Amino acid sequence: MSGLGGLNKSPNGVVVGVVQKQLPKVETKAQLTAETERVCELVAKARRQMPTMDLVVFPEYALHGLSMDIRDEIMCAVDGPEVAAMRQACIDNEIWGCFSIMEYNPDGNPYNTGLIFDDKGEQKLFYRKLHPWTPVEPWEPGNLGIPVCDGPNGSKLALIICHDGMFPEMARECAYKGANIMLRTAGYTQPINHSWTITNQANAFTNLMATANVCLAGSDGTFNSMGEGQIIDFDGRPLAMGNAVADHIVTAEIRPDRIDEARRLWGVENNPYQFGHRGYVAVEGGATDCPYTYMKDMVAGEYRLPWEDEVHVTDGSDFGFERPTRQYAG
């Protein structure tokens, strides 16, 4: 139950609103400033629309659009004016907010960064996208892991960005670190619609974790983003499903207490626990070894697919990016 989108909020509920923000076209600093102002306006709209709302979530690329332009003049800093304005919007409207910036990186390509502020403007989470959408995106691979923070009303929040959500390991890491609500922000366009929906639902059910997911919406004259805000309960069932309407805010109530209860009390399909306690009916405590070759190989720096030498696309040259020569520093 979503409490009629959050209108009937329970004492233990967290009302989340995901904003299908209009896809912007940003080529100048002035346009970046204008989009920042628009995001702040939509924070205020979220508060007016749903006085019970605890957390408002904006899509990836909400300020920058989908041009993949990495010029310094339209990049942001965590201590810059754009972030300060969004932080102030949370304070002014007494609401938690999740925002997206393309973060200037003096040592390489910019980071694709997500931030969460509480209703007092305090930074609670700082995340850099681990899996840029290669070969299309030029962003530096994230180097902060997947942080988790305490959220409103008993929630524990994690944030992943767009393509991150296509890797089951990302959602499992969020759950393993205690998140009971995972936010997934995106700029995806229509061809990804089906994959978007099934992964949002699978990420929820396989981890007994609610997911709140949102893309940009509308057109910038070249690309069409799909909107599709989706709030999914921990059993994989949709609480609220969006559409393609730009600036529409999709809302639902999530119950972190019910998620925490399921994680403690479920036997059948208690997937996060059973993953590390295989076959506990047969052997005491279950098997706790790692039977997965790919995990062992990745830890050893030896990850290699059987078809590795046959992969055709291994850089961004098809999308206008020069083949990199710089090694990842971690």
Q: 253 CB contacts (<8 Å, ≥6 apart)?
A: 1, 2, 3, 5, 6, 8, 9, 10, 13, 14, 15, 16, 239
Tokens of residue 121, six digits? 């403007």
Residue 64, both tokens = 């920058």
- What is the predicted pLDDT for the residue at 2? 67
Task: Output the CA–CA distances (angstroms, integers) from residue 68 to 26, 53, 65, 316, 323, in the order listed.
Answer: 10, 32, 8, 12, 16
Q: What is the pLDDT of residue 1?
A: 58
The token duo for 127 is 């995340």
From residue 197, give the alpha-carbon distance in Å to each of 158, 200, 211, 248, 281: 19, 5, 11, 18, 34
pTM for the full model? 0.97
Q: Phi and psi at residue 56, in whole multiples of 5°?
A: -115, 135
CA 205 from centroid of its chain's CA atoms? 17
Question: What are φ and ψ of residue 268, in 5° steps?
Answer: -65, 130
- Which residues of the chain register pLDDT less than 50? none
Residue 88 is predicted with a pLDDT of 98
> Do the Cβ atoms of 266 and 254 come closer than 8 Å?
no
- Cα 88 vs. chain centroid, distance in angstroms? 22
Are 123 and 115 in contact, with CB atoms under 8 Å apart? yes
**Which residues are annotated as catalytic?**
60, 129, 162
What count of Cα atoms within 13 Å lies in the side-chain half-sphere of residue 18? 31
**pLDDT score at 3:** 79
Domains of the chain, each with CATH number or no CATH: 3-268 (3.60.110.10)
> In terms of Cα–Cα distance, which of 1, 20, 22, 19 is closest to 10?
1
Query: Sign of the CA dihedral 218, 193, 211, 117?
Result: negative
| Separation between Cα atoms, residue 91 and residue 121, nearest integer Å | 5
**DSSP letter assigned to residue 228:** -
